[in-house]
Amino acid sequence: KPVKGNGKEELLFQSSYTKYPTDWTRDGKHILFGSLAEGTGSDVWALSLLDKKAGPLVQTIHQEGYASVSPDGKWLAYQSDESGFNEIYVQPFEPGSSETKRRVQLSNDGGGIPRWRADGAELFYMTGSGHMMAVAVHPKNGIFEFDPPQSLFHIRPMKPFSNLYDVSPDGQRFLLNAPLERTSISGGNSSDVIVLTNWT
């Protein structure tokens, strides 16, 4: 639906699986979304706005999601738990291609929800412990090269990676959906119920 005027909502794609949008390419040609399917769990899909056709970009027995495309449209970043923990991976963004992509693991101690700086020179992600990480990237000749991840700041985490956030174009300001406090005496989530037995 257009954000200006009184345009009507348009159905872009329909299937029986649960879907959640995660990114829209800068050229306006593709919308990325997570698709929850039987057998493969959460997968990364891309919808072409030219022909209204959608297809998987990353579809395995593992849980992949929260995909984001680099500003130049060449690289796809997403999280996957194939190692047993959520980590950030980057591979070429080639919608419509079913070939296996050469990819690299960007995070080294857990990570989720990748976001690109507007100029594509930096990639951000969250760790399960609540650290906002930044990685300087400098792809060269079709090879995705990057520096070691650096921690920017820490917030109270909510597992699994439910801390949705966005970053300003210059990468200097962050808008985060994060808990301000916890009321549980155990230090867990405020929704925890603690039962103490045999206390007498």
pLDDT for 66 equals 94
Contacts of 154 (CB under 8 A, 6+ apart): 129, 130, 131, 132
**DSSP result, 91-122:** EE--TT--SPPP-EE--SS--EEEEE-TTSSE
DSSP state, residue 146? B
Q: What is the pLDDT of residues 45-95, one digit of tens each?
A: 999 999 999 999 999 999 999 999 999 999 999 999 999 999 999 999 998
Q: Give 16's Cβ-side CA count (13 Å radius).
A: 2
Q: What is the pLDDT of residues 118-135, one digit of tens each?
A: 999 999 999 988 899 999
Calpha distance 151→113 (Å, rounded): 15
**Is the pLDDT score of 187 beyond 60?**
no
Calpha distance 178→184 (Å, rounded): 16
pLDDT for 191 equals 66
How many CB atoms sit inside 10 A of residue 120's CB?
A: 18
Place of tokens 């706005």: 49
Is residue 6 within 8 Å of residue 43, measured between CB atoms? no
**DSSP result, 18-29:** EEEEEEE-TTSS
